[in-house]
Structure 1
Amino acid sequence: MAGLIRREDIDEVRSRTDIREIVEGYVTLKSAGIGSFKGLCPFHDERTPSFHVRPQMGTYHCFGCGESGDVISFVMAMDHTSFAETVEKLAARINYELHYEQGSGMSREEVGRRQRLLDAHKIAAEFYQRNLYTPAAREAQKFLGARGFDPQATRTFGVGFAPRGWDHLLKYLRNKGFTDEELEATGMFSRGNRGLYDRFRGRIMWPIRGIAGEVIGFGARKLYDDDQGPKYLNTPETQLYKKSQVLYGLDLAKRNIAKKKQIVVVEGYTDVMAAHLAGIDTAVATCGTAFGAGHIKVVRRLISDDGSGGEVIFTFDGDAAGQKAALHAFEEDQKFVAQTYVAVAKDGMDPCDLRLARGDAAVRSLVANRRPLFEFALQATIGNYDLQTLEGRVRAMRAAAPILAGIKDRALRPAYIREVAGWLGIDTDEVQRAVTYAVNHPQVSARERAQAEQDARQAAEREEQAAAVREENPFEIPDLADPVARMEREALEVVIQLPHYLSVSQWQELAQVQFRYRMHGGLAEGIIGAASEIVPQPGSTWVNSVRSHAPEQVHALLAELTVSPIPARTEEQLARYVHDILNRLFEQQINRQKSDLLMELQRLNPSTDSGEFSRIQRELLDLELRRRTIMEGQD
């Protein structure tokens, strides 16, 4: 570990560094008289230049906001680096070897090697960028164009293309004088039996830059079907590139993040581009890893996370993987003083797809309609439990209590306790007691919260795996260990075997049900199709009509359900069973619709979105009336 930099070395670096040259990397300066220059202040908004630099004095001062200092303090403020990091960076820039009072820092040789790696990355980024505008990059151009990125956008972000072939970049950098040892250390090359070869081939390339703007790695997306590698391939860990500490787009967003005290964390390179082009100039993304402790340190320093305000907004896809990522981010929530939020589009689209489908305003609206991350975590956690049973509701309450106890703004806690009580159908006082216990027993509640989060992650993983299976085989056999699958199957059994027991209103409700399992949904399609053609009556005519309207993949299930025993013997028992099982199915459908509307309602402001707010309230009332009518057995 490096010790303290010697004071005389700090003074030497300060005196040898041209402050005007450094400042002009951030601010356009014009002459303000002999030995003085001025420009628009980078620390506050202004129209008339009041920021002055005196190179001979090595100082700067703003007469508008009062900011002042030397070259070290300027770089620290602009790049959000520590004092030691700043001195080392400036020393490397002038090729000055630092000495340390305790331990040792980087030697001149190490500084030189690091600079060689930076030089190689800079040249490689220029090489990739030039190749994007050649005929060989047609697929890359089509990919970017289809996502709404024109050449101006790709140049802003330095997007490039790695030619197909094994040694295009290798030969280019060798001709620039780099040794194989240096090239291997960059992470841009792999080693095989015949030596080095290009790691990135036939891919779109995004340069990953450090906070000061230097290229330290690359992210690459495959384009061709014969590419056997992963969809996204990043630079491996190197002396320069530490993925747990790097945020893509930070070099472009850092000033706006610091000024607005806001950071928007999206999921990918194209999402960062889309967000910035849509006006969300505080957007960044992690690079092939989950948002973690290393990123938090960077973000806290950028937004001055000292309790004076600030917000961290995460955007995620609406799928299981997105929920898993959101819950992982929630695990780190308590490390922030700033408020954390989540923004998920109603239809699950990411910022890139949202911009393409609905324009820049939709992306801005997505961020504007963010909601607290703890609220998202509450709903995701509660969603892991079977709320149809009392035991499931109680378990959900216990899992939610530590999250409620951890809400940073205590004034919000009572409102969310009432909200959760409503979601669960449990008395508010009971939820309050659970939260009080969690507050007074933080170690226990921490374990319960960790268990709840683990349950949520596992549920998200199961759903993600199930989604992958469904994509490969959309008519997979439902898992009857799932209470929803069992209920859907039992409902279909009675409709197939006892269709004459259904009332007109029940047929209408059945036509609106969205089944969780595609196998059940396919059979329901056949049932509704048959009911539209013939009078539903038990027997072979009815079953054959259902079969003719249903996909072939569900015919075996249809045959099975026609002979499955129904747990009732008398006419009265059959009528009651049909009534109960269908009502359970319809109630679940209505509850799911209400949950979706409640989530939508949370994102609205009653004063500015009064029309939409009223519409949703009317729909919620209509759904509740439908639910009560069904449960009371009225037609």
Structure 2
Amino acid sequence: MPGLINEEDLATVRERSRIEDVVGSYVTLRPGGGGALVGLCPFHDEKTPSFRVTPTRGFYYCFGCNKGGDVIGFVQEINNSSFVEAVEFLADRVGVQLRFTDGGGGNRVEPGLRSRILEANRLAAEFFAAQLGTPEAVAGRQFLAERGFDRDAAEHFGVGFAPMGGRDLAKHLRGHKFSDDELVKASLIREGGGWDYFQGRLVWPIRDAGRSVLGFGARRLFDDDRMPAKYINTRETPVYKKSNVLYGLDLARQNIAKKNQAVVVEGYTDVMAAHLAGVDTAVASCGTAFGDDHARLLSRLIGSSDALKGEVVFTFDGDAAGQAAALKVFAGDQHFISQTYVAIEPTGLDPCDLRIQSGDAAVRELVARREPLYRYVMANTIAGFDLDRVDGRLEALRAAAPLVGSVRDNSLVNGYIHELAKMLGSDVDEVRREVARAGRRKVAPSSDRHREPEPPPPDEQPALGLPMPNPRDRGLEVERGTLRLMVRAPEAFEQGWNDTAVDDFTHPAYRAIFEAILAAGTPASDWPQPVVQAAADPTAVQVIAALATEPLMRPASPTYAAEYVAKLKLLSVSRTIANLKSKLQRTNPVDDQPSYNRMFATLLEFEKQRRELTERAAGPAL
């Protein structure tokens, strides 16, 4: 198992990776006042810039889609990569050789190799695209034309042709100073002879969300092709992991976030057909079945503030293989936050053939006719039982009830109960009782229909995180303003943060952030990075990023910090006074005189504190 990244190396990567340089390679940034830079958000469509970068603190935040974090978080988001992959990407960029604890670096990639592979892939994609116009590629152009794709479509999707000679690409890339060792590791040439990996095939570049070419997929065109497989893909490389890539993601990403929908099709030409027909959220897995990692990737891309409103739509053939694929996807459905749907074409045509036969509107209609994956799987689950017999209906109910019980959107459960009762011809109350018994068991479709599903282990339960505070909530402005000052100008506070207490914060996210500030220790030059590391909750991390980019109302100073803390404590004391007055009103001064007198004396003390805090909050007299 890989070890952890050496802390010194991680700190060096953060120090050398200037966030304005990294973000600036994806976004045009302009001065926005207060030392911040602004630009159009790369994570959602917008016409007015709401994306801010604060170089002095090393954070970015978008006030439109609420995405934010440090430079590593930005790379994770823009490249859909893990934390370690993002660090390695930045390390290659700034020339840091990472060390790993526990011998974890044994299988790591040498510094700079990822960047070299990505550059080789970029040049290879340009080379293949240029070759599609040559006389040798007539079979490739004919293949595309027969499927309704003209020259503009080929250029839009970057489709190319790998020459039949077998050494053309290798020669081309050697001319750009790439070694054979680098090209073998990039899966562009084969070991032992230097033959091109793709020969005489139509080629599709597979890009990430940042449009970097990660690898290629290639289709057989000629009968004498020595590779019998219809499609072959780039081998696993340091940048290409087939379980983590989706074809068409570069074109679909913004539309997925904007429409809160992703449509999963089965092949390269299906993605092309869907996009050209107006379904611009279509993607496809590459050389492997759609799996759990793909599900997690799409879940990160769905941009709805209410995750249950997001949709992932799968297109399957209506045959047995399509049904099996639907069951496999459903087995991993817990990895989706969004609702999952299935779109089945009754004629059995895939989106590409459907577009050829019936036009663009038919492809759009296919997606519009989607039905919940639960319902589709439910129907297929009960199809194998004899519903004309009482015992058959009971067995079918027991098999299907856990499916209904696992539906995340509780508002749909009652409707599915009625649907299942109608499918079975059973009493609704009987179905409801069986669904209740199934509870929240983990659904795992298998050939053993009668095996009771087992509950998921605790670490598989979804973590929803703290509620996101409204930055415009006037009632929470003092809490947010105090934290903003602590994140942006910790030097303005006395040791102990001017005696600020956790209980001074009422919103759970703000309370969690202050707890992280306390846990982060004495502020240093890398502040607020230690606060981010101490904040375990994802909502808290997002809010910290926002605070680090929000402008201060006045220049930071000890006086300004003291006034803000006084305002915060004034609100806290006022809440305490209100509670004491409420208790006094409910206490009989005759029957419980000692308790009443103690509370009254305490009230007087807090009233004195409130007067003092009111004066401090107003600032020094002029």
Contact 2:136 2:163 in 1 (8 A): yes
- State the alpha-carbon separation in 2 of the partners of residues 44 and 328 from structure 1: 31
1:398-439 deviation digits (Å, cap 9, x = unpaired): 332332332333443343333233333344444445434433
Alignment of 1:97-496 (within 5 A): 97-100=97-100, 105=105, 110-190=110-190, 195-227=193-225, 229-303=228-302, 308-309=307-308, 310-387=310-387, 392-439=392-439, 442=441, 451-452=448-449
- State the alpha-carbon separation in 2 of the partners of residues 411 and 376 from structure 1: 18
Say which SS state the counterpart of residue 343 (structure 1) adopts. strand
Q: Which residue of 2 aligns with 1:87?
A: 87
Q: Which amino acid aligns with 2:252?
A: A
* Identity of matched residues, %: 53
- State the alpha-carbon separation in 2 of the partners of residues 408 and 290 from structure 1: 24
1:62/1:248 Cα in 2 relative to 1: closer, same or farther (>3 Å)? closer
Alignment of 1:552-591 (within 5 A): none
Q: CA deviation at 1:222?
A: 1.2
Contact 2:167 2:195 in 1 (8 A): yes
Q: Which residue of 1 aligns with 2:472?
A: none
Contact 1:247 1:295 in 2 (8 A): yes
- State the alpha-carbon separation in 1 of the partners of residues 277 and 124 from structure 2: 29
Q: Which amino acid aligns with 2:205?
A: P
- State the alpha-carbon separation in 2 of the partners of residues 383 and 251 from structure 1: 39
1:407/1:13 Cα in 2 relative to 1: closer, same or farther (>3 Å)? closer
- State the alpha-carbon separation in 1 of the partners of residues 222 and 258 from structure 2: 41
- State the alpha-carbon separation in 2 of the partners of residues 408 and 224 from structure 1: 48
- State the alpha-carbon separation in 1 of the partners of residues 445 and 53 from structure 2: 56
1:215-254 deviation digits (Å, cap 9, x = unpaired): 2221111122333612111223333322122222223333
- State the alpha-carbon separation in 1 of the partners of residues 352 and 390 from structure 2: 42
Contact 1:97 1:107 in 2 (8 A): no
Q: CA deviation at 1:94?
A: 2.5
1:479-510 deviation digits (Å, cap 9, x = unpaired): xxxxxxxxxxxxxxxxxxxxxxxxxxxxxxxx
1:248/1:96 Cα in 2 relative to 1: closer, same or farther (>3 Å)? same
Q: CA deviation at 1:76?
A: 3.5
- State the alpha-carbon separation in 2 of the partners of residues 425 and 388 from structure 1: 9
Q: Which amino acid aligns with 1:156?
A: H
Say which SS state the counterpart of residue 205 (structure 1) adopts. strand
1:303/1:103 Cα in 2 relative to 1: closer, same or farther (>3 Å)? farther
Contact 1:399 1:449 in 2 (8 A): no
1:385/1:162 Cα in 2 relative to 1: closer, same or farther (>3 Å)? farther
Q: CA deviation at 1:144?
A: 1.4
Q: CA deviation at 1:159?
A: 1.1
Say which SS state the counterpart of residue 133 (structure 1) adopts. coil
- State the alpha-carbon separation in 2 of the partners of residues 244 and 368 from structure 1: 28
Structure 1 residue runs of 5 or longer lacking an equivalent are 455-635
Q: Which residue of 1 aligns with 2:96?
A: 96
- State the alpha-carbon separation in 2 of the partners of residues 395 and 41 from structure 1: 53
Q: CA deviation at 1:372?
A: 0.7
Q: Which amino acid aligns with 2:244?
A: Q
Structure 2 residue runs of 5 or longer lacking an equivalent are 452-622
TM-score (norm. length: structure 1): 0.62
Q: Which moved more, 1:280-289 or 1:414-423?
A: 414-423
Alignment of 1:582-601 (within 5 A): none
1:94-135 deviation digits (Å, cap 9, x = unpaired): 322234566554899712333333333222222211111112
Contact 1:313 1:340 in 2 (8 A): yes
- State the alpha-carbon separation in 1 of the partners of residues 423 and 65 from structure 2: 50
- State the alpha-carbon separation in 1 of the partners of residues 113 and 60 from structure 2: 32
Q: CA deviation at 1:160?
A: 0.8
Say which SS state the counterpart of residue 439 (structure 2) adopts. helix
- State the alpha-carbon separation in 2 of the partners of residues 263 and 438 from structure 1: 30
Q: CA deviation at 1:59?
A: 5.8
Say which SS state the counterpart of residue 448 (structure 2) adopts. helix
1:12/1:151 Cα in 2 relative to 1: closer, same or farther (>3 Å)? farther
Q: Which amino acid aligns with 1:87?
A: V
Contact 2:242 2:287 in 1 (8 A): yes
Alignment of 1:37-56 (within 5 A): 38-43=38-43, 45-51=45-51
- State the alpha-carbon separation in 1 of the partners of residues 410 and 327 from structure 2: 21
Q: Which has the bigger relative contact order, CA under 8 A and spacing at least 6?
A: 2
- State the alpha-carbon separation in 2 of the partners of residues 112 and 64 from structure 1: 35
1:132/1:420 Cα in 2 relative to 1: closer, same or farther (>3 Å)? same
Contact 1:165 1:201 in 2 (8 A): yes
- State the alpha-carbon separation in 2 of the partners of residues 315 and 169 from structure 1: 35
1:40/1:189 Cα in 2 relative to 1: closer, same or farther (>3 Å)? closer
Q: Which amino acid aligns with 1:409?
A: D
Contact 1:98 1:107 in 2 (8 A): no
Say which SS state the counterpart of residue 161 (structure 1) adopts. strand
Aligned pair count? 449
- State the alpha-carbon separation in 2 of the partners of residues 293 and 344 from structure 1: 22
1:48/1:338 Cα in 2 relative to 1: closer, same or farther (>3 Å)? closer
Q: CA deviation at 1:394?
A: 4.6
Q: Which amino acid aligns with 2:268?
A: Y
1:309-368 deviation digits (Å, cap 9, x = unpaired): 322221112233222211111111133232111112333332222333344333333323
- State the alpha-carbon separation in 2 of the partners of residues 197 and 297 from structure 1: 36
- State the alpha-carbon separation in 2 of the partners of residues 57 and 174 from structure 1: 42
- State the alpha-carbon separation in 1 of the partners of residues 446 and 409 from structure 2: 18
Say which SS state the counterpart of residue 198 (structure 1) adopts. coil
Q: CA deviation at 1:379?
A: 1.5
1:169/1:39 Cα in 2 relative to 1: closer, same or farther (>3 Å)? same
Q: CA deviation at 1:65?
A: 7.0
Q: Which amino acid aligns with 1:205?
A: V
TM-score (norm. length: structure 2): 0.63
Contact 2:296 2:335 in 1 (8 A): no
Contact 1:402 1:449 in 2 (8 A): no
Contact 1:343 1:367 in 2 (8 A): yes
Q: CA deviation at 1:48?
A: 3.2
Q: Which amino acid aligns with 2:213?
A: V
Q: CA deviation at 1:387?
A: 4.7
- State the alpha-carbon separation in 2 of the partners of residues 138 and 13 from structure 1: 48
1:421/1:204 Cα in 2 relative to 1: closer, same or farther (>3 Å)? same
Contact 2:79 2:208 in 1 (8 A): no
